[in-house]
């Protein structure tokens, strides 16, 4: 099965609001997908639908060939999930959590959990209440990554952690879970930190999917020009997606090659994921930068 997740015209509501509006996308195997969007864009609602916590009001959603809402028990044997409000019982020891998981999940490996925890400073006899927030998140990932699953869904997994703890989390994820066959979908606001880890990106804006693309294709499709401020007026006349400041000058972002003659006014540079996200999701009235 090459396509691990498929959505066609998917519509989801959060109360009376349309949170996901006729969204279509595919996640093949072996991908690390970043799901980006402002607060309220629909990211968490979509992730809840992927794990069967939210039913669709329209369209179709398939995860590992199953309908998440109707086949949730079977799906969760092959899918791992860390929600944005994930907690572990503070009274429990780490080895007790491993024992608990061994009894709860048929595809959980206690040996693998212990091996993953050896990458950390967490001891098996440590109680959750004695651990730092970063260490708790590492324990959570070790437990979830020890499930023999094909898809992992992470909703703001490193929220509130310091930079070293976030780095340790993602290193463990990439080194120990991503193997070219399984796929992970990560929702985060820390775009700069995960850009180098991603193979693909999806951007939501007010429930609409404004971009779903591999980073390789993104680099080919979108063009940024670094230019002298004196060229700002001429470049602005070509209607770039975004004009923004860069060190030593200004830059403009285009969807596709700039018009003939404009490219000669600046030097092509690689657009960052952050710049592209801002260009595609900010309100049009905000998209004005003085050159």
Residues 2-43 pLDDT 10s:
799 999 999 999 888 899 999 999 999 999 999 999 988 999
Residues 246-279 pLDDT 10s:
776 788 999 998 888 888 888 888 888 999 999 9
The edge-to-edge listing of strands for the beta sheet with 242-246 is 242-246, 249-255, 222-227, 266-269
Mean pLDDT of 100-114: 95
* pLDDT score, position 282: 75
Mean pLDDT of 145-163: 91
Confidence check: pLDDT of 75 > 50? yes
Residue 23: how many other CB atoms lie within 10 Å: 23
* pLDDT score, position 232: 86
* pLDDT score, position 1: 52
Mean pLDDT, the chain, integer: 90
CA distances from 160 to 64, 137, 163, 164, 273 (A): 31, 10, 9, 12, 22
- Spatial distance between the Cα atoms of 168 and 51, rounded to a whole number of angstroms: 26
Given pLDDT bands bounded at 50, 70 and 90, which one contains residue 284?
A: very low
Confidence check: pLDDT of 285 > 60? no
Query: 224 and 251 in contact (C-beta within 8 Å)?
Result: yes
Query: 241 and 255 in contact (C-beta within 8 Å)?
Result: yes
* pLDDT score, position 57: 93
Which of residues 229 and 143 earns the better pLDDT score?
A: 143
Query: 165 and 133 in contact (C-beta within 8 Å)?
Result: yes
* pLDDT score, position 10: 97
């Amino acid at each position: 099965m090459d396509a691990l997740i498929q959505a066609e015209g998917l519509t989801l509501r959060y109360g009376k609001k349309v949170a996901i509006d006729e969204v279509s996308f595919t996640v093949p195997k072996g991908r690390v997908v970043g799901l980006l969007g402002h607060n309220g864009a629909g990211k968490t609602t979509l992730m809840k639908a992927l794990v069967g916590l939210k039913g669709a009001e329209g369209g179709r959603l398939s995860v590992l060939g199953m309908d998440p809402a109707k086949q949730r028990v079977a799906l969760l044997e092959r899918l791992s999930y860390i929600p944005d409000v994930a907690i572990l019982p503070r009274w429990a020891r780490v080895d007790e959590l491993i024992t608990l998981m061994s009894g709860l999940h048929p595809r959980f490996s206690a040996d693998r959990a212990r091996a993953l925890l050896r990458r950390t400073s967490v001891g098996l006899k440590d109680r959750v209440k004695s651990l730092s927030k970063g260490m708790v998140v590492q324990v959570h990932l070790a437990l979830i990554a020890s499930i023999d699953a094909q898809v992992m869904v992470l909703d703001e997994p490193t929220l509130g952690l310091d930079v070293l703890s976030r780095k340790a989390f993602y290193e463990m994820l990439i080194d120990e879970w991503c193997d070219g066959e399984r796929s992970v979908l990560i929702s985060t606001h820390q775009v700069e930190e995960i850009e180098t880890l991603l193979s693909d990106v999806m951007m939501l804006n007010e429930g609409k999917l404004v971009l779903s693309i591999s980073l390789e294709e993104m680099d080919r499709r979108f063009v940024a020009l670094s230019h002298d401020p004196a060229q700002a007026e001429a470049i602005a006349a070509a209607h770039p997606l975004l004009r923004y400041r860069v060190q030593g000058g200004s830059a403009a972002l285009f969807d596709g090659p700039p018009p003939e003659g404009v490219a000669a006014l600046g030097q092509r540079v690689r657009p960052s994921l952050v710049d592209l996200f801002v260009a595609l999701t900010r309100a049009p009235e905000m998209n004005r930068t003085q050159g």
